[in-house]
């Protein structure tokens, strides 16, 4: 970075030009006076003037030549330096001009796509066709969605993921970052700089991890069910009932195996989600009824909390009842878990902007502002390392988000540390319900 101003300073030609101007000025001023004293006769004086003119032109040309040569050499050196930097980059880099032409593709980009230097298409649109660029879900990408196009419209695109087909048939998973190059403020971008990173190996390892999680969770389910089953049998087989100590032990055994089943189920769900194996079985149902049902089940979990339902009218949705049940259980579970002092947990079921919305408000510990950004990320625990840490795997909210998003809905929250949180999600209304709503409005 610091070499650039220095290079510019070294090539600034003001010094030779100033010396030249002074020498040329003195020469013009005094040469004729000197010549008049030395040369005799008008003819000889004119001839000497012509030679003097030629000498002047020759000296000016020589100076110009030296300056241009020096500047060209500096320019070549700087270009060679930039080219070497581009070529030694580990990430693939492509420069695209405002007409969509590829003006530069470094060596790493050729290696990434398995192309020889002469095989790089000149137009980016042709490039997209040759490499069959698609979204990770296999859908096609239109020209306007391409990061390079978006960058040429002035947008900075960060780590957008795509599948790319190499010429040898291999499929790569790449992350693309694109930024516009704007040389003058307020002008349209002249170039788009596109940087691509190969994520194929990372994605393969992530898939292996998810396959492992899925298999492990699946394998764990059978022994857990067996332990719970035998604990219940033993409980029932004891003639004449239990001693209080035994009764308590069986209750704990029962509760903990339920908890283990739930954890294993969550792990299984999260790996299924990652592997794209979580299917939805949609049906039409009334959201308020489901919320009331879950609320009744959850009421027994804690004697410190009172769960209060507010419902404004009936809200029909077309969704997977079991999965929405799972979302509600997770949100209630968290509301209870993160309000250790107890209090009222209030739930609203309503229709807002043509969608069915459920909001759950707790009076708990809330979430510190600086820890709110990643809340829906897999395995993220906002209270990890704090005194208020309540344990957990950081899977529940990620699952909730994925389930709601797969229904085409939205999930969000508002929270303030020490003042509690409100988690909400919305689902599209079932079609008949939408018609009814419209009729009611007319
Ligand atoms: P877990 O509760 O198992 O850690 P979740 O994915 O359900 O995992 O939640 C992620 C994190 O979000 C929690 O660890 C907690 O820090 C925070 N969180 C979730 N719900 C609440 C809530 N109602 N109040 C405060 N913090 C919450």
Collapse the DSSP code of 248 into the 3-class scheme (helix H, G, I; strand E, B; otherwise coil) and give the result.
helix
Secondary structure (3-state) at 327: helix
For a pocket test of ligand 1, which of 394, 398, 399, 417 has the largest count of ligand atoms closer than 8 A to its C-beta? 394
335 Cα–ligand 1 center, Å: 9
Coil vs helix vs strand at 393: coil
Q: Compute the distance from residue 394 Cα to the ligand 1 centre, in Å.
A: 7
Instruction: Quick: pLDDT tens for 326-339.
Output: 999 999 999 999 99
From the CB of 399, is ligand 1 less than 6 Å away? no
Q: Does the Cβ of 397 fall within 6 Å of ligand 1?
A: yes
CA of 381 to the centre of ligand 1 (A): 6
Nearest CA to ligand 1 atom 3: 392
Calculate how far, in angstroms, residue 257's C-alpha sits from the geometric centre of ligand 1: 22
Question: Which residue, judged by its Cα, is nearest atom 14 of ligand 1?
Answer: 381
Question: Using a 6 Å cutoff on CB, does residue 127 contact ligand 1?
Answer: no
More confident residue, 20 or 65: 65
210 lines ligand 1 (CB under 6 A): no
The shares of helix, strand and coil residues in the chain, as percent rounded to the nearest 5, are: 50, 20, 25
Residues 8 and 71: beta-carbon distance below 8 Å: no
13 falls in which pLDDT band (50, 70, 90)? low
Residue among 328, 343, 367, 399 to mutate when testing ligand 1 (max atoms within 8 A of CB): 367
Atom of ligand 1 nearest to the CA of 371: 16
φ and ψ at 284, to 5 degrees? Answer: -90, 130
- Any ligand 1 atom below 6 A from CB of 393: yes
Judge if the beta carbon of residue 401 lies within 6 A of ligand 1: no
CB 308 within 8 A of CB 345: yes
Ligand 1 atom showing the smallest separation from residue 394 Cα: 8
412: confidence class by pLDDT, cuts 50, 70, 90:
very high
In the reported structure, the alpha carbon of residue 384 is separated from the centroid of ligand 1 by a whole-number distance in angstroms of 10
Q: What is the mean pLDDT of residues 60-78?
A: 88
> Sorting pLDDT into bands at 50, 70 and 90, what band is 293?
very high
pLDDT band at 249 (very low <50, low <70, confident <90, very high): confident
d(CA 213, ligand 1 centre) in Å:
21
- The whole-number average pLDDT for the span 370-383 is 93
The percentage of the chain sitting over the pLDDT mark of 70, rounded to a whole number, equals: 95
Q: What is the mean pLDDT of the chain?
A: 87
Say whether pTM exceeds 0.85.
Answer: no
Residue in 374, 397, 401 to alter for ligand 1 test, most ligand atoms within 8 A of Cβ: 397
Predicted confidence band of residue 437 (pLDDT cuts 50, 70, 90): low
Indicate if the pLDDT at residue 401 is higher than 80. yes
Question: Which ligand 1 atom is at minimum distance from the Cα of 389?
Answer: 16
Q: Which runs of consecutive H residues, i.e. helices, occur in 281-366?
A: 287-299, 321-337
Q: What is the DSSP letter of 145?
A: G
- Over range 7-28, report the average pLDDT: 72
> pLDDT band at 352, cuts 50/70/90?
very high
Question: Nearest residue CA, atom 2 of ligand 1?
Answer: 392
Supply the angle between the helices 244-274 and 200-237 in degrees, to the nearest 10: 160
| 326 in contact with ligand 1, CB cutoff 6 A | no
Ligand 1 neighbourhood includes 367 CB (under 6 angstroms): yes
H/E/C letters for each residue in 44-74?
HHHHHHHHHHHHHHHHHHHHHHHHHHHHHHH
* Gap from CA of 251 to ligand 1 centroid (Å): 26
3-state secondary structure of 428: strand
Distance 416 CA to ligand 1 centre (A): 13
């Amino acid at each position: 970075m610091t070499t650039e101003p220095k290079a510019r300073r070294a090539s600034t030609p003001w010094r030779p030009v100033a010396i030249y101007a002074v020498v040329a000025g003195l020469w013009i001023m005094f040469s004729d006076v000197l010549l008049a004293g030395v040369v005799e006769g008008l003819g000889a004086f004119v001839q000497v003037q012509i030679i003097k003119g030629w000498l002047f032109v020759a000296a000016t040309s020589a100076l110009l030549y030296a300056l241009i040569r020096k500047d060209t050499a500096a320019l070549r050196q700087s270009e060679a330096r930039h080219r070497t930097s581009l070529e030694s980059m580990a990430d693939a880099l492509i420069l695209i001009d405002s007409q969509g032409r590829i003006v530069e593709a470094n060596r790493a980009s050729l290696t990434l796509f398995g192309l020889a230097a002469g095989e790089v298409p000149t137009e980016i649109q042709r490039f997209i066709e040759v490499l069959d660029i698609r979204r990770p879900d296999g859908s096609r990408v239109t020209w306007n969605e391409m990061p390079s196009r978006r960058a040429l419209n002035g947008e900075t695109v960060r780590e957008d993921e795509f599948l790319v087909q190499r010429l040898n048939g291999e499929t790569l998973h790449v992350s693309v970052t694109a930024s516009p190059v704007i040389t003058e403020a307020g002008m349209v971008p002249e170039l788009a700089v596109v940087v691509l990173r190969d994520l194929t190996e990372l994605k393969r390892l992530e898939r292996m991890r998810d396959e492992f999680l899925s298999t492990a969770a699946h394998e764990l389910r059978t022994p857990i069910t067996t332990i719970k089953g035998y604990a219940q049998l033993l409980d029932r087989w004891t003639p004449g009932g239990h001693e209080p100590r035994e009764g308590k032990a069986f209750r704990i055994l029962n509760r903990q195996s339920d908890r283990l089943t739930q954890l294993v189920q969550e792990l299984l769900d999260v790996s299924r989600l990652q592997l794209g194996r979580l299917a939805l079985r949609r049906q039409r149902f009334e959201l308020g009824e489901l919320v009331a049902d879950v609320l009744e089940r959850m009421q027994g979990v804690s004697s410190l909390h009172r769960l209060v339902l507010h419902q404004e009218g009936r809200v029909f949705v077309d969704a997977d009842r079991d999965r929405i049940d799972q979302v509600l259980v997770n949100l209630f579970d968290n509301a209870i878990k993160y309000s250790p002092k107890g209090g009222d947990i209030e739930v609203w079921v309503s229709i807002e902007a043509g969608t069915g919305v459920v909001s759950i408000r707790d009076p708990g510990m809330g979430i510190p502002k600086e820890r709110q950004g990643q809340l829906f990320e897999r395995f993220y625990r906002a209270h990890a390392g704090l005194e208020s840490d309540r344990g957990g795997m950081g899977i529940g909210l990620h699952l909730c988000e994925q389930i709601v998003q797969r229904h085409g809905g939205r999930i969000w929250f508002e929270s303030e540390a020490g003042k509690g949180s409100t988690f909400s999600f919305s689902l599209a209304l079932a079609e008949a319900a939408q018609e009814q709503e419209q009729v009611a409005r007319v």
